[in-house]
Structure 1
Amino acid sequence: MKHSLIRVGTIYLPVQEVGKSAVWYKEKLGADINYQDNQKAIVDLADISIFLVKAAPGQTSNFLEEDGSERFAITFEVDGKEALKALQKQLKDKGVKVGDIEDRGHPGLNFVFEDINGNRLDVWSELSPAYRG
């Protein structure tokens, strides 16, 4: 293939209150708020621009798997199992709704957490090859 996709540059997440959500991402996850108006906020986190977009009530980025379980649409990466455990504790200490660390049968470990809008976000203890030093 002559041309190929290089990276994900922007992710859109539905939110109920733009300002409150932007502050949550800044305080809980360390995101930088780069723009904000009544309909959206642009936050930079993990080398991605995340647009927090005012959505209809009850909207989230989650979806249901065939078996009915709710699934996340985004997985963040950290560098190793100790970093994963430390982040899980840090988020818990900040009052974030955080799931247990899971072994899903592939390399590394994961856990899921939720933002204040109910968007489920995943964290994996393995870095993609492009980010390994």
Structure 2
Amino acid sequence: MNDKLLRIGTTYIPVTNVEDSSEWYVNKLGAELSYKDNDKAILNFANQSIFLVKSKEDQSSNFYDIHGQKRFSITFEVDGLNSLEAIHKDFIDKQIKVGEIEDRGHTGKNFVFYDLDGNIFDVWSELSPKFKEKYLISQ
């Protein structure tokens, strides 16, 4: 049998206010709103469906690693260092809370950013080879 998992189709992110959060994701990150009610919003961006789910205030998509460092659960990819630097500047201009661009000892560079509820996300300067191949993105 050649059946296998092909991609991650939906990511669920806890938020305290669906209205405010969906507006933030649309206005700050360029997400496309496809559905919204009192309990959830469905957004499309970064080739994925993102559900913002109304949650209690003490919820987040973050976790702590073995060393006690708060970590993110999602890394977004951009096409190269120039794109990473440009989006970092754009996020700062949009008053999104961001970390510094950093070298983590592997290919490319990264930075983190935070949504209204403190969910942490990562941005990496390297597109996966399969994504480049599928969408015909040249080097």
TM-score by length of 1: 0.98
Q: Does residue 110 of the first structure (1) align with residue 110 of the second (2)? A: yes
Shift of 1:3: 1.2
Q: Does residue 36 of the first structure (1) align with residue 36 of the second (2)? A: yes
Shift of 1:130: 1.6
Q: Deviations over 1:108-130 (max 9, x none)?
A: 00000000010000000000112
- SS where residue 83 of structure 2 aligns? helix
**Structure 1: which 5+ runs fail to align?**
none
Distance 1:24 1:45 in 2: 13
Q: Deviations over 1:31-81 (max 9, x none)?
A: 000000000000011010000000111211000011111000000000000
Letter in 1 for 2:117: N
**Which 4+ stretches in 1 moved above 4 angstroms?**
none
Letter in 2 for 1:31: A
The alignment's C-alpha RMSD in Å is 0.8
5 Å-filtered alignment, 1:1-133, equals 2-132=2-132, 133=137
TM-score by length of 2: 0.94
Letter in 1 for 2:13: L
**Structure 2: which 5+ runs fail to align?**
none
